[in-house]
Structure 1
Amino acid sequence: MNSVKKLNEEAVSPVIGVILMVAITVILAATIAMFAFNSTDSIKEQKVVALKASAQDDTVVVNLNGGASVAELKSLKFMWGSNGATITDAADFQVNGVNAVWDTDGTTTIDGLYTKSGGFTTGDCFTLKKESGNLKVIGIFADGTEQVFIDKTYA
């Protein structure tokens, strides 16, 4: 008597299919993760400078409180209003209690850009004539990058 046992091989095909699907999913996830994590190289490093603005009667006082990037700070740009008008009158701006001299020739056409000779230091105090609207203070660093430090609205 010839007895032939028939093996049930139906389960082999679904197991191979599941293994292939898992392998494809792992490879796809690894590829997506590789692109996602490498995209952070394009994010610029933020500079750390602490400025605080507070209104006092008809003026706004901006204090430089420190930060790791103060030494890299080249200029500060002060702008008022929704249209971003810059301060152009030295009488409306004081640094450490003294009217600012904006240009080397003593003129007041400065476009709101203040560069302190000798560099900025913790404790520097800037006093601006208060106007209604938005005050923006932008830092410009030695490497050419710019960063908004203050964006505050006054009545």
Structure 2
Amino acid sequence: MSKANQFLKEEDAVSPVIGVILMVAITVILAAVIAAFVFGMGPPEQAPQASLRSSADNIDSGITGIKLEHQGGDAVVISDSRTKLTLDGTAVTILLDDTNQSFDAGEVMYVTKDDNGFYIDNFKNTSSSFTNQSNIVTAGETANLKIIDVTSQQLITDMDVRF
């Protein structure tokens, strides 16, 4: 028997081994795809899409704050667990009666300042509980207001307000 015939006889087992390897690979890939659908690799959360407008506003006796108007789009839930508000990098405290205040189209909210920090509320806050209410910034300066959706970690709005 020649050496060429000897090699041909020993190659019979190669094809079934490759077939088994391919079947295992296909099974693993199918299992990964099914697991991805079952365990929720769905689309990521999306921040509310809203048109917000801000402007400087006279709060009380010459004290200026920020008037925030919702001009249209999705409702923005203003709460510590759903949104984060910052003014020039400083956190804004939410002073709303309802813990999940829905900020809808046509509504207005106000950002004010006192000695303890910045506040957002749905009315011009001239409460006696404030200590030394003051202007957010001096005339001619600009303040930066950011609203971030906590759930999706996306920016809802980033506005500069000139006083």
- TM-score normalized with structure 1 length: 0.47
Structure with greater strand share of residues = 2
- TM-score normalized with structure 2 length: 0.46
